[in-house]
């Protein structure tokens, strides 16, 4: 199997020495996030890269070599969104036509952006694996070059240029946290650190419902999931390759998995505290740092914000989940005698606590209700858990039975 060396990363850095293709993204210290974990936290803000992610690095590194050798006229790739945009931009910049196969479930914003960078987009299948199979069929049927999202030494070397930046950006770093989908990103970054700063701990993070690396490491071979279900669509590849698994096994120190709830909370925290809007995959490193499964106390830590292409529909989903988790968005179910005036009574109690009523509905066809009873279900906004508790206690003090439902 063809490997990847640090010299390959250095050569990729020379090819990417063009701010119109790949820019050097900033690093910002976050004292608020640092205070939560008792660490010095520096955010590597690759979500501010052209196309909103790191993917252009690997795509341009591969295609620029193929163009120089006169070996490519048409590029084909499969992606849930970020690799799609990276390949589209790289191909357009180099004067190469491109076709990108995306799952039918891909966010519309990522589909539109990929077309905006000049690619032809085909929607196929319900997940990345189905899109990948179709893209490989397209590439095999003609003179096209297939640009794999992670299983390619040129892709890994291109992503490794980000690792070089991170070493230079924060020489005192103790721990680097990198999201993992197919493993191309962490493979390149960990290889760069192994050469330039081998003492740094490299931690990989996967979404629990898309995690393949822990089992792959246990079994010594890449494992594939038949289906993935996570809000972090940018790392929902459902598999790694022999190439990336080998590099992960050699250079990555620790793997952490995080739930969608933890990712959603990290997205909201980054928006509130760091004023940065990132997608689920981009927030996974912060989610791992805050999960309690990773001890970073007293360290200098660099979570990588690897992507910022967050669809507005997904943003709404993430915010609702996170606000519900914080009890800032609460569903109250109040048992009442079904007579006039009860809704007004409870609404008055809510207004006295300055709670905003979003929706309210009656439920009468419920088995545990007696004749003449009903439920009033309020969806309210509060300032948090203590405010929510005060509201329910007040309602109970006025003789009603109340419970919080659909609150995590």
Residue 164: the pLDDT is 98
* pLDDT tens digit sequence for 80-101: 779 999 999 999 999 999 999 9
Number of H-type helices and E-type strands within the chain: 15, 14
Mean pLDDT of the chain: 94
As a whole number of angstroms, the distance between CA 207 and CA 253 comes to 18
Structure confidence at residue 363 as a pLDDT band (50, 70, 90): very high
Structure confidence at residue 408 as a pLDDT band (50, 70, 90): very low
* Cβ pair 73, 143 in contact under 8 A: yes
- Strand pairing class (97-102; 120-123): parallel
Find the helix packing angle between 184-196 and 242-251, rounded to 10°: 40
Which residues of 83-237 form beta strands (DSSP E)? 97-102, 120-123, 145-146, 175-179, 201-207
Residue 233: the pLDDT is 87
Q: For residue 321, how many other CB atoms are within 10 A of its CB?
A: 20
Structure confidence at residue 314 as a pLDDT band (50, 70, 90): confident
Q: What are phi and psi of 148, to 5 degrees?
A: -70, 150
Give me the long-range contacts of 294-298 (CB less than 8 A, separation at least 24): 294/175, 294/177, 294/203, 294/254, 294/256, 296/37, 296/38, 296/39, 296/174, 296/175, 297/37, 297/38, 297/39, 298/38, 298/39
* pLDDT tens digit sequence for 379-404: 999 999 999 999 999 999 999 999 99
* pLDDT tens digit sequence for 123-170: 999 888 889 899 999 998 777 899 999 999 999 999 999 999 999 999
* Cβ pair 3, 156 in contact under 8 A: no
As a whole number of angstroms, the distance between CA 31 and CA 40 comes to 7
Which residues of 318-355 form beta strands (DSSP E)? 329-337
Of the candidate ranges 1-5, 62-66, 200-204, 328-332, the one whose mean pLDDT is the lowest: 1-5
Tokens 């493979």 belong to which residue? 187
Report all structural domains of the chain as residue ranges with CATH numbers, in order of start. Answer: 6-53+153-322 (3.40.50.1100), 56-146 (3.40.50.1100), 326-405 (3.30.70.260)
Residue 158: the pLDDT is 98
* pLDDT tens digit sequence for 172-182: 999 999 999 99
* Cβ pair 217, 248 in contact under 8 A: yes
Residue 1: the pLDDT is 53
Percent of the chain exceeding pLDDT 70 equals: 99
pLDDT at 31 over 60: yes
Which residues of 62-219 form beta strands (DSSP E)? 74-78, 97-102, 120-123, 145-146, 175-179, 201-207
Residue 99: the pLDDT is 96
């Amino acid at each position: 199997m063809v490997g990847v060396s640090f010299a390959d990363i250095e050569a990729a850095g020379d090819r990417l020495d063009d701010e119109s293709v790949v820019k050097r993204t900033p690093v910002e210290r976050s004292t608020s996030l640092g205070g939560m974990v008792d660490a010095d936290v520096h955010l590597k803000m690759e979500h501010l890269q052209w196309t909103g992610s790191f993917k252009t690095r690997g795509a341009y590194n591969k295609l620029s070599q193929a163009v120089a050798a006169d070996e490519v006229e048409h590029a084909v790739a499969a992606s849930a969104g970020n690799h799609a945009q990276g390949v589209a931009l790289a191909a357009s910049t180099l004067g190469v036509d491109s076709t990108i196969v995306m799952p039918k479930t891909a966010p519309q914003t990522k589909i539109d952006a990929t077309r905006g960078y000049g690619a032809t987009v085909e929607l196929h299948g319900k997940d990345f694996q189905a899109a990948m199979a179709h893209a490989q069929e397209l590439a095999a049927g003609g003179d096209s070059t297939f640009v794999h999202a992670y299983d390619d030494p040129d892709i890994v070397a291109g992503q490794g240029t980000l690792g070089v930046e991170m070493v230079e950006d924060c020489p005192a770093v103790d721990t680097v946290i990198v999201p993992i989908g197919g493993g191309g990103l962490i493979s390149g970054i960990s290889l760069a650190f192994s050469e330039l700063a081998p003492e740094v701990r490299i931690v990989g993070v996967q979404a629990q419902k898309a995690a393949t690396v822990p089992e792959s490491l246990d079994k010594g071979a890449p494992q594939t999931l038949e289906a993935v279900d996570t809000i972090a669509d940018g790392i929902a590849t459902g598999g790694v390759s022999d190439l990336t698994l080998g590099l992960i096994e050699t250079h990555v120190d620790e793997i952490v998995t995080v739930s969608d709830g933890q990712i959603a909370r990290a997205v909201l925290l980054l928006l509130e505290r760091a004023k940065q809007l990132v997608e689920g995959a981009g927030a996974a490193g912060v989610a791992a740092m805050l999960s309690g499964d990773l001890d970073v106390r007293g360290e200098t830590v660099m979570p990588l914000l690897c992507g910022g292409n967050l669809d507005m529909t997904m943003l709404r989903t993430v915010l609702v989940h996170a606000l519900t988790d914080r009890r800032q968005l609460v569903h109250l179910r109040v048992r009442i005698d079904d007579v006039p005036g009860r809704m007004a009574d409870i609404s008055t109690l809510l207004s006295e606590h300055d709670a905003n009523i979003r929706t309210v509905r009656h439920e009468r066809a419920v088995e545990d209700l007696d004749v003449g009873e009903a439920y009033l279900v309020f969806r309210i906004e509060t300032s948090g858990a203590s405010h929510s508790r005060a509201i329910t206690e007040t309602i109970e003090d006025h003789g009603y039975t109340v419970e919080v439902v659909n609150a995590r």
